[in-house]
A and B are shown apart, each in its own frame.
Chain A
Amino acid sequence: DGGITQSPKYLFRKEGQNVTLSCEQNLNHDAMYWYRQDPGQGLRLIYYSQIVNDFQKGDIAEGYSVSREKKESFPLTVTSAQKNPTAFYLCASSWGIATEAFFGQGTRLTVV
C-alpha cells in the first residue's frame, strides 16, 4: 500500500538527548514537510524539502535539523537545543508545489 510511514508512534526522551523521528513515503512525492502540533494549536511548519538534497527552514526551525538524502526519506532530529520538544510531530508529502499534502500518522514525543 502506498503511503507515509512515521516511526515510532510514541517516543520518550530524556532532557538533553537528541532524538530522530523517521518519515518514509512510497508515493514518489517530491516535496516533504515536518509540522509540529501542540494541544489546541494549529500545525506549525518546522522544515520542508522540495527536492532531494535541498531543504528550507519553516517557521520554527530552531532546535531541529533534517536531511533529505533520498527522495522517500525525510528524518527529523530534535536536538537538545529545542526548549519545549513535547508535541505531536507530523510528516507530510506532496507531489510538489501548489498541491495538497498527505500526512503520516504522527509521532508523539514526550520529554521525561
Chain B
Amino acid sequence: RKEVEQDPGPFNVPEGATVAFNCTYSNSASQSFFWYRQDCRKEPKLLMSVYSSGNEDGRFTAQLNRASQYISLLIRDSKLSDSATYLCVALGGSNYKLTFGKGTLLTVNP
C-alpha cells in the first residue's frame, strides 16, 4: 500500500462547481498533514495545513479523520485559476519526513 494515496483524477469541472479531493495515508504515526498546489512545470506551493478539527480558508476547506486515516480538500465556487495539480502530504513517523501523494490534476473550464 502506498504511503499516501490520492484520487487519480483528472477532474474537469465547470467554473463555479464544488470539487472534492480525497487522500488516505498508511502511517498511523503521521502527525501533520498539508495540501499543496502545483502549477504545470512549477514548484509545489503550500495551500493549507490540515488540522484535526478541520479548517477553512475562503473557498477551501480541509478535513482530517485520524480514525480512518483520511484527508480531504473541498474547493467551492471553483475559478479558472484553481486549475492545477493538488498534492496531499503527510508528515511524521520516526523520521519526520514529508511524504507526498502523486497529486490530482484539476482543470476548471469556462
Spell out A's residues near B (CB within 8 Å). Answer: 33, 35, 40-43, 45, 48, 50, 56, 58, 88, 90, 92, 97-106
Contact = CB atoms under 8 A, between A and B. Distances in A.
A104 to B, nearest CB: 6
A13 to B, nearest CB: 19
Interface stretch (B51-59, B62-70, B90-98): B90-98
Interface string B34-74: 10000001111110010000000000000000000000000
B44 A42 contact: no
A105 to B, nearest CB: 5
B43 A98 contact: no
Interface of B: 4, 31-32, 34, 41-46, 49, 87, 91-92, 95-103
A50 B45 CA distance: 21
B98 A105 contact: no
Contacts of A35: 100
A95 B20 CA distance: 30
A100 B34 contact: yes
10 contacts: A42-B87, A48-B97, A50-B96, A58-B97, A90-B43, A100-B32, A100-B34, A100-B49, A103-B43, A106-B42
